[in-house]
Amino acid sequence: MAVMKFLCDTKRCIECNGCVTACKNENDSALEWGIQRRRVVTINDGEPGETSISVACMHCTDAPCQAVCPADCFYRTDDGIVLHNKDTCIGCGYCLYACPFGAPQFPKKGAFGSRGKMDKCTFCAGGPEKNFSEAEREKYGANRIAEGKLPMCAEMCSTKSLLAGDAEIVSNIYRERVAARGNPGAIWGYTPKVGA
């Protein structure tokens, strides 16, 4: 049994927004106007120490959205992916308030709580409907996990900064990278640059 996670290697991310576009394209059927499941944020933009990171739902192990939802529409798959049922969702917005990563989004902003059904990253694992069904495509987008593939955003990442997959494998890849890069600034006078 895997535990699926995203990891964004900030030393590699070049803020190309390819992951955002890949996600939009892959899940197009489910994404109403204005919704973007993934976003890239750049800290210290244009200054020394500039760092970009791609973020979407982190598929938390003890997910705040799931714990706060009054309709109880979230569930965790055997792979540790946090999914939700749009038929039960009442669009109250509690999950958006509780999520530390700002992942849940709503198609509308009408008065009297009519936000519409919440949408968020599914780790390209669809939803509670039958795998590959029309209903699943329309409500949740792609189900690549059921096809044995990983999320489109990570697959399309040009620098292989965004990693997705079983936590153990992902962290092994990252650990190898860190070992290869060294740790600049950890020892006096030792400042190797990435690729130098």
Partner 1 sequence: MKLTSLRSLFASLVLPLVILMGLGLSTSALAADGQNSQQIANAKTSDADLWRAVKAGDSGYTVAQGSEAGVLINVVGNEGKNIKNEYLTPAMGVAVLGVFSAFLIFYFVNGPSKLTKGFSGKMVLRWSKADLIIHWVLAISCLGLIFTGINIMLGKHILQPYVGEGVWAALIYGSKTIHDYVGPLFIVSWILCVVKWMPLQTLKMYDLKWFLVVGGYINFGPFKGKHPDSGFANAGEKMWFWTLAIFGLFISVSGIMLVLPGLDLPREASMAALLIHGLSAIIIIAFTIVHIWMATVLSEGGMECMKSGYCDENWAVQHHNLWYDEIKENGTLEYKD
Binding status of residue 123 toward partner 1 by CB under 8 A: no
Residue 103 near which of ligand HEM, ligand SF4, partner 1, none (CB within 5-8 Å, type-dependent): ligand SF4
Enter the DSSP assignment of 186.
S
Q: Return the number of the residue (110 or 192) whose C-beta is nearest partner 1.
A: 110
Question: Shortest approach of partner 1 to residue 138 CB, angstroms?
Answer: 18
Per-residue binding letters, 80-109, with ligand SF4 (x by CB under 6 A): --x-x----xxxxxxx---x-x-xx-----
- Rounded CA-CA distance 20/164 in Å is 14
- Rounded CA-CA distance 4/7 in Å is 10
Contact 41, 50 (CB under 8 A): no
Six-digit token string for 135 = 């209903």
Per-residue binding letters, 43-62, with partner 1 (x by CB under 8 A): xxx-xxx-x-x-x-------
Q: Return the number of the residue (40 or 118) whose C-beta is nearest ligand SF4.
A: 118
- Rounded CA-CA distance 28/149 in Å is 18
